[in-house]
Structure 1
Amino acid sequence: MTQQSPKASSTSLPPRDPKGGRPPQDIAAQLGAHILDVALEQFIHRGADGASMEAIAAAANVSKRTLYSRFGAKTKLLRAAVEHGVYRHLRPIATSIPNGSLHDRLLYVGMKMLDSSLKREVIGLETLVLWLVDHEVESLANTTMPGAPDGIRIIRSILDNSALPATMDDDALQFLARHIFDTLVTVPRNLILIRREFPNTTAAKRAYLMRALDVLLWKRDIA
């Protein structure tokens, strides 16, 4: 799989205090985001095994000691970088869900999450998640798709704000949220990337999701 070349981190940091010492809290937070941005670029470009703490520290313009003091080990830095990347893609979706019918809200988040899952960075994240699944006892929520647990939570929040909780218990709602995520994201992503049954175009994806939602919500008059 062809990976993106590392790009410059978008996090702009002020120069270090020549006197040394701990940076202010806001600067420390910026530094943390900067390190995770750079680490994610390095891991995607070089792979989990190929990226080194030395190279990441050099690219982030921090000391190796800083990396180890913050994250402890490369695997922990990798996990934090993957979670950071997932959050960066899903947070704008979770905070921009429009008002409207259940159908319209699910269509909105389904399109946004499917589009996000097809980006090169997210495909690169998937490779890193698979590495974590193979090398960690506690994998990233036992999933091979970046952001799946968070995506399911977004869908569940939409279901919880519909009329469904009056007719379904908690287990059924959680099962439905997982099923909707797979129907709107996992399956069409596979059809586009693996089986190549339809193109990665807005029109094709929207048509597929519209039909899928018609089936999912068939004979349900839900607000």
Structure 2
Amino acid sequence: MQAADTAPAVSRGGRPSREAAAQLGERILDAAMELMLEQGYGATSIEAVAARAGVSKRTFYHRFADKAALVQAVVARVVERARPPLAARASTPPQAPAPEGLEGLRRSLHDFGTHTLRAALSPQVLALYRLIIGESHRFPDLLRAVALSGGRAQAVRTLVDTLCRQLPQLPPAQAEFAAQQFLQMLVSLPQLRAMGIGDAMSEPDCELWVTQTVDLLLNGLGG
């Protein structure tokens, strides 16, 4: 028996209001995330997601074409919620502010690094990372969902924009290489330790890690 939809508001024409429709979509994504983390991606069926969300399969398919589209939306939401505030600037052309010097660049990188590492160590991101590691070899949809979310690509663009603004003499190719290496150094080991490969880092450990990673980057760039 299909579950009944329970939209909080209905418009005069009988359809859910825009707000109610958005809430319904969020409820489906919440249910999908819960089930995928509880049971795994492979064991999570569309029927189970619809039942957990309290919607009919027809309502589900009105919003998501299939399971691949669902997991793309789940991953995109996790990435968006975890995205550092500075990442929003990557999609708009830089305004070419007045040069701030090396210390201004250091502060920008430190702020970005702090937000990025905090996001990478958040419970939802770690849970999603475990899911991807555990099942992506059987379900390529998981890797495609991560690629389509554009989280890392946008972080790289933000860093490249920052480096090129503050170090105009730096060739763009070198700026991109530096941005890729900075992200890898910043996130990889703390994330592995948070997942149990070694002791998890404390807040002071993370702060020192960001500071030293920024210093290493700037030293490598000759700053």
Structure 1 length-normalised TM:
0.74
* Equivalent position to 1:104, from 107, 126, 141: 107
When the two chains are superposed, the root-mean-square deviation of aligned CA atoms in Å is 3.2
Relative distance call for 1:192 and 1:180 in structure 2 (3 A) is same
- Could you tell me which runs of 5 or more consecutive residues in structure 1 were left unpaired when the two chains were aligned: 1-12
| Match of residue 152 from structure 2 | 148
- Aligned with 1:108: secondary structure? helix
Counterpart CA distance in 2 for 1:172 and 1:102 is: 16
Equivalent residues of 1:40, 1:85 under 8 A apart: no
Q: Which residue of 2 aligns with 1:4?
A: none
CA distance in 1, matches of 2:54, 2:107: 45
Name the SS for the 1:22 alignment partner: coil
> What is the letter of the counterpart of residue 62 of structure 1?
V
Question: What is the aligned-residue identity percentage?
Answer: 29
Residue of structure 2 in register with 1:126 after alignment: 129
Q: Quick one: structure 1 residues 141 and 89, their matched pair in 2 at CA, closer, same or farther if it must change by over 3 Å?
A: closer
For residues 218 and 82 of structure 1, do their structure 2 counterparts lie closer, same or farther at Cα, with a shift above 3 Å needed?
A: same
Return closer, same or farther for 1:15/1:141 CA change in 2, 3 Å cut-off: closer
1:87 Cα deviation after fit: 0.8
Give 2:214's aligned amino acid: L
Query: Highest relative contact order (Cα 8 Å, sep 6+), 1 or 2?
Result: 2
How much has 1:19 moved relative to structure 2?
A: 8.1
Preserved contact between residue 141 and residue 149 of structure 1 (Cα < 8 Å): no
2:144 match: 139
Q: Which amino acid aligns with 1:188?
A: P
Please list every run of at least 4 consecutive aligned residues from structure 1 whose deviation after the TM superposition is greater than 6 angstroms: none
CA distance in 2, matches of 1:44, 1:149: 25
Q: Larger % of helix: which? A: 2
Q: Is the 8 A contact 2:28 2:53 kept in 1?
A: yes
Give, as a single letter, the amino acid of the residue that structure 2 aligns with 1:38.
Answer: A
TM-score by length of 2: 0.74
**Distance in 2 separating the partners of 1:191 and 1:127:** 13
The aligned counterpart of 1:25 is 18
Q: Deviations over 1:63-108 (max 9, x none)?
A: 1111122211112211211111111111546369xx9711122112
User: Counterpart in 1 of 2:117?
Assistant: 114
What is the SS of the residue equivalent to 1:101? helix
Q: Distance in 2 between matches of 1:157 and 1:36?
A: 33
| Contact 2:82 2:120 (C-alpha < 8 Å) held by counterparts | no
* Contact 2:33 2:74 (C-alpha < 8 Å) held by counterparts: yes
Alpha-carbon contact 1:133-1:142 (below 8 Å) kept: no
Unmatched 5+ stretches in structure 2:
1-5, 90-99
